[in-house]
Structure formats: C-alpha cells, structure tokens
C-alpha cells in the first residue's frame, strides 16, 4: 500500500503558503478600514468646525458698520502667525478694497453655505495659491465680503496618513508572506519526515516510531500515533503467537492422520484393515476440523454485536439441563455432580450460548476432578447479581495461570495429557462478554479445587 500524501506534497505546500497570503491580505484590508474610519470622520469634523467658524466671522463682519468692519478685518488678519486666515473686501466691480485675497475667485457663490475654493493669497510674505473653505456675503453697499480658512493642512494630513499606510503595510505584508512561507516549509518538512516514517512502517518496519519534538500539537500527535503503533505491534505479536499455537496444535492430529494413512496404505492386508485406518484418519481430521470450527466460532461470537437471538432464558432450567447432560459422565468417573438450582432466575440472553458456556465449565470441572471428588453446580442470588457457580475439588488453577487459562490454546502443563482443545475457556469468555456479564475463576475456599463464576447483573424489571 502506498500513501497518497507524498503525491500531494507540493499542493499542500502551496496551500499553506496561500493561507498565509490570504491572512496577510485580510490584515491589510482591516488596517486600511480602521484608518479610513478614523480619517474620514475626523476630516469632516474639522471641516465643519472651520465652516462654522468662518460663517460666524462672516456674519459678525457683515453686521458691523463699514468703519468698524475695516478695523475688525485688520485686527482679524493681523493675528495669523500660521498664515491660514483669509479675508477680503471687494467693491461692486470686484476690485479689492482690503484683505489678503488677490481677487474674487471664480465659482464663488454669494450668501451660500461654506464652499471649497482655490484662491491666491497676497501678504507680506508674498503670493501663494491656496485651497480654502470660504463664505461670501453681499453687503448692503454692493461690496462683497469674503472670509476663508486655508485647508492645505488638512490635505497634508491626508497625505501623511496615506504615506503611513503604504510604508507601514508593505513591509508588514512582506513579513507576513515570508513568515507564511517559512511556516509552510517547516510544516512541510515535518510532514515529509512523518510521511517517510509512516511509509516505512506501512512497509513492515513496525518498530519505527515518530520523533516527539517541536511544537506541542505535533509532538502530541506523534505521541498518540506512537501509542497506537505500540498497541498494533503488541496485537500483531499476539496474533502471530496465536497463529503459531494454532499451527502447532493442528500439526499433531494432522501428523497422526498422515501416519495412519501411510501405514494403512503400506501395511493393510484386507479391506477391513484399510477401512479401519481410514476411519482412524477421519477421526483425526474431525479433531482438526473441530478445532478450526471452534476458533471460528469464538471469533464469530467475539465480533457479534447483534443480539437477535436474545430472549428471556430460565437459568434454573438451563443449569438443571447441563447437570442432567453431564451426570452420566460424572458417574462413570465416580465424581458426584450436585445441582442446586431452586431459585427461578430469568436473564436476557441466548439460550444455546449460555448452555454452551455453562456446559464448558462443567466439562472442565468434571474432567479435572479426580475420582471420588465432587462438582457442585449452583445457581443463586448474591446482592443484585444472579450467579452461576461451579465448584470442583480438582487440582485447581495456580494464581499465576488464572488469567492465562482464558487465552486461546492455553493449557496448563499439568493438563497436557488430558484430551481437549484448550479453547473451552476462551469460548466461555467470549460468550460471557457477549452477554455483558462477569466471569471469574478463583481458588476454592476449602483449599482444593477452584470456583468458576458467571455473574449476571440483574435488571430492575427482573426483580421479583
């Protein structure tokens, strides 16, 4: 299998870079918007203040008598260190009477609100073209009064802001792009490294691990993936071990079958002889088949989540049936099989599976209990649980083996001589898991033998 990530590397690289480009662009737009929102209201506020000021002045000057007006205008123009005040008085022919404006500018509206005009200023310093807010008033004697204020300062301020935006933003954008490129390249290098490692892992080098370093996000991800790899490696090793066990346990009967058939072919002197060999071989093959079937069944039960077959099961009846089934075998072995299942307990489950699980436990108990021993099969309630308990007086299970016995194919060294598949308890565990109950094996309190328990959690509705 080949991971497609490597092929998409360049596209991914460009994506990261494009991301930072877009981010920088958005940043610039935001900055421009902020400045615009500050600049426009400010300049409008300043303009309207100027307009109010010059309108007030114009009104004030026009209300004065001609003599006073001249004086006031003189006074007004003399206090102007920054050369922003403009005023002029013109006769009805448009000739200047006094003031610092060369002539009536073109486009001048009389007795109108303030307007922006370009005019020529004349004073002690010299002539100068200026842009100004102006108000003009027609006076009663035919003269025209012009009051204005230079706004070049305001325009200059606008230009300053513009320059600031341009000279501030260009480096910021460049920096953003550079940083984006740097980030995307670095991320890309990391990803390439991870990709290569993962490819090696996929190729079978399961011991490889990702480096845990760099940014928190990356190292956290690496840690998670490494944890997953640990788990997979352990599982694989487990599977391999089970596979070895299966191969080993299958080889024994198959070798026997082969030998039997070979001997039958070479040594058989009659048809009956040959048939006997073949029968023997078939028994051996059946044993192998049983083992494979049992394994498949366990896998099937383990993977089964559907509970289609679940119904109410009378545990007492089930337990009595199991006891009834094993009674003759126990008697033949001179083992006393005692049943105590008086309480009627109903659980939700699959009748056949539960029977199989309990039968397996009784089978084991009877198998491992020596002559004159006894096996007790008991159904009872303990607290909120319904418990099926199988107690025997066999040789028991050592504490070190108690977990192992539920593993597939595990057989205690002491039981190697007994017939069996070593699959019984794994089957029990699978069935118990499917039913959501608990299974436990513990040493018998009397010191001899062991106790196997299947405990069902009782639902409230099943309380009687």
Partner 1 sequence: MPKVLLIEDHDETAQQIMDELSGHGYEVDRAATGIEGLDKARAGEADIMIVDRLLPGIDGLTIIEVARQEQVRTPVLVLSALGAVDDRIRGLRAGGDDYLTKPFAILELIARIEALLRRPAENRDTVLRLGPLELDLLERTATRDGRRLDLLPREFRLLEYMMRRKDQLLTRAMLFEEVWNYKFVPQSNLVDVHMGRLRRKVDPPGQPPMILNVRGEGFVLRAPS
Q: Which stretch binds partner 1 (CB under 8 A): 78-86, 294-302, 373-381, 453-461?
A: 294-302
365: CB partners within 8 A, 6+ apart? 375, 390, 391, 392, 394, 452
Q: Is 250 in the site for partner 1 (CB under 8 A)?
A: no
Q: Which stretch binds partner 1 (CB under 8 A): 19-27, 350-358, 383-391, 400-408?
A: 350-358
122: left (phi over 0), alpha (psi -120 to 50) or beta: beta
- Residue of 1, 7, 217, 308 that binds partner 1 (CB under 8 A): 308
For the chain, state the CA radius of gyration.
51
Closest CB to partner 1 among residues 89, 362: 362
Query: CB of residue 211 vs partner 1: minimum separation in angstroms?
Result: 45
Q: Is 312 in the site for partner 1 (CB under 8 A)?
A: no
Contact 172, 28 (CB under 8 A): yes
Q: Is 51 in the site for partner 1 (CB under 8 A)?
A: no
Q: Which stretch binds partner 1 (CB under 8 A): 1-9, 67-75, 91-99, 295-303?
A: 295-303
Burial 178-207 (b: 16+ CB within 10 A, else e): eebeeebeeebebbeebeebbbebeeeeee
CA 369 to chain centre: 54
- Strand 374-382 relative to strand 336-340, pairing: parallel
Q: Is 279 in the site for partner 1 (CB under 8 A)?
A: yes
- Residue of 61, 326, 439, 456 that binds partner 1 (CB under 8 A): 326
Q: Is 227 in the site for partner 1 (CB under 8 A)?
A: no
Closest CB to partner 1 among residues 197, 246: 246
Contact 354, 313 (CB under 8 A): yes
Contact letters (x/-) for partner 1, 180-209, by CB under 8 A?
------------------------------
Query: CB of residue 343 vs partner 1: minimum separation in angstroms?
Result: 21
Query: CB of residue 235 vs partner 1: minimum separation in angstroms?
Result: 23
Q: Which stretch binds partner 1 (CB under 8 A): 2-10, 45-53, 345-353, 451-459?
A: 345-353
Q: Is 96 in the site for partner 1 (CB under 8 A)?
A: no
Query: CB of residue 395 vs partner 1: minimum separation in angstroms?
Result: 19
Contact 378, 340 (CB under 8 A): yes
Closest CB to partner 1 among residues 222, 434: 434
Q: Is 66 in the site for partner 1 (CB under 8 A)?
A: no
Query: If you write DSSP's letter for every residue of 147-189 in order, what string do you get?
Result: EEEE-HHHHHHHHHHHHHHHHHHHHHHHHHHHHHHHHHHHHHH
CA dist., res. 357 & res. 78, Å (int) = 115
Q: Is 392 in the site for partner 1 (CB under 8 A)?
A: no
**Residue listed under structure tokens 């600049």:** 39
- Residue of 309, 342, 414, 457 that binds partner 1 (CB under 8 A): 309
Q: Is 249 in the site for partner 1 (CB under 8 A)?
A: no
Distant-in-sequence contacts of 381-386, Cβ < 8 A, 24+ apart: 381/343, 381/345, 381/458, 382/455, 384/457, 384/458, 385/455, 385/456, 385/457, 385/458, 386/315, 386/345, 386/347, 386/455, 386/456, 386/458
- Residue of 56, 300, 344, 403 that binds partner 1 (CB under 8 A): 300
Query: CB of residue 298 vs partner 1: minimum separation in angstroms?
Result: 11
Burial 162-172 (b: 16+ CB within 10 A, else e): eeebeeebeee
Closest CB to partner 1 among residues 231, 286: 286
Q: Which stretch binds partner 1 (CB under 8 A): 31-39, 262-270, 289-297, 338-346?
A: 289-297
Tokens matching residue 253 = 């009967």
Query: If you write DSSP's letter for every residue of 3-65 in order, what string do you get?
Result: -TTTTTHHHHHHHHHHHHHHHHHHHHHHHHHHHHHHHHHHHHHHHHHHHHHHHHHHHHHHHS-
Binding residues for partner 1, rule CB under 8 A, total: 35
- Residue of 19, 227, 420, 436 that binds partner 1 (CB under 8 A): 420
Q: Is 436 in the site for partner 1 (CB under 8 A)?
A: no
Tokens matching residue 227 = 């944890």
SS3 content of the chain, % helix, strand, coil (to 5): 55, 20, 25
Q: Is 416 in the site for partner 1 (CB under 8 A)?
A: no
- Residue of 50, 145, 147, 359 that binds partner 1 (CB under 8 A): 359
* Binding positions for partner 1, rule: CB under 8 A: 279, 282-283, 286, 289-290, 293, 296-297, 300-301, 304, 306, 308-309, 321, 324-326, 328-329, 332, 350-353, 355-356, 359-360, 363, 367, 420-421, 424
């Amino acid at each position: 299998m080949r991971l497609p990530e490597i092929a998409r590397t360049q596209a991914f690289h460009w994506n990261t870079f494009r991301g930072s480009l877009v981010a920088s662009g958005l940043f610039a737009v935001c900055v421009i918007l902020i400045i615009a929102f500050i600049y426009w209201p400010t300049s409008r506020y300043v303009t309207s203040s100027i307009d109010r000021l010059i309108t007030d002045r114009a009104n004030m000057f026009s209300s004065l008598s001609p003599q006073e007006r001249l004086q006031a205008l003189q006074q007004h123009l003399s206090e102007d260190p920054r050369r922003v005040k403009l005023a002029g008085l013109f006769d009805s022919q448009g000739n200047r009477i006094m003031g610092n404006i060369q002539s009536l500018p073109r486009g001048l509206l009389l007795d109108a609100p303030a307007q922006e005009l370009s005019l020529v200023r004349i004073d002690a310093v010299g002539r100068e073209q200026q842009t100004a807010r102006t108000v003009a008033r027609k006076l009663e004697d035919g003269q025209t009064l012009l009051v204005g204020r230079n706004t070049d300062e305001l325009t200059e301020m606008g230009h300053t802001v513009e320059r600031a935006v341009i000279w501030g933003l260009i480096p910021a954008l460049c920096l953003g792009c550079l940083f984006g490129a740097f980030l995307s390249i670095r991320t890309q290098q990391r990803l390439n490294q991870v990709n290569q490692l993962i490819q090696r892992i996929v190729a079978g080098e399961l011991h490889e691990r990702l480096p845990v370093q760099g940014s928190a996000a990356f190292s956290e991800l690496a840690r998670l993936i490494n944890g997953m790899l640990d788990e997979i490696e352990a599982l694989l090793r487990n599977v391999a071990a089970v596979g070895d066990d299966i191969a080993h346990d299958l080889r024994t009967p198959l070798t026997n079958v082969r030998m039997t058939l070979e001997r039958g072919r070479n040594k058989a002197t009659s048809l009956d002889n040959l048939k006997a060999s073949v029968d023997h071989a078939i028994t051996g093959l059946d044993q192998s088949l049983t083992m494979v079937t049992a394994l498949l069944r366990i896998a099937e039960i383990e993977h089964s989540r559907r509970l289609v077959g679940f119904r109410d099961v009378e545990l007492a009846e089930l337990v009595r049936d199991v006891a009834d089934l094993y009674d003759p075998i126990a008697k033949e072995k001179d083992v006393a099989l005692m049943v105590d299942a008086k309480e009627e307990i109903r659980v939700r489950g699959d009748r056949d599976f539960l029977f199989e699980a309990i039968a397996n436990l009784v089978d084991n108990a009877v198998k491992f209990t020596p002559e004159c021993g006894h096996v007790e099969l008991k159904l009872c309630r303990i607290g909120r649980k319904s418990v099926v308990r199988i107690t025997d007086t066999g040789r028991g299970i050592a504490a070190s083996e108690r977990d192992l016995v539920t593993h597939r194919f595990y057989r205690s060294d002491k039981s190697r001589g007994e017939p069996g598949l070593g699959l019984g308890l794994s089957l029990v565990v699978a069935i118990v898991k499917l039913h959501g109950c608990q299974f436990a094996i513990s040493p018998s309190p009397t010191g001899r033998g062991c106790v196997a328990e299947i405990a069902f959690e009782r639902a409230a509705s099943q309380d009687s």
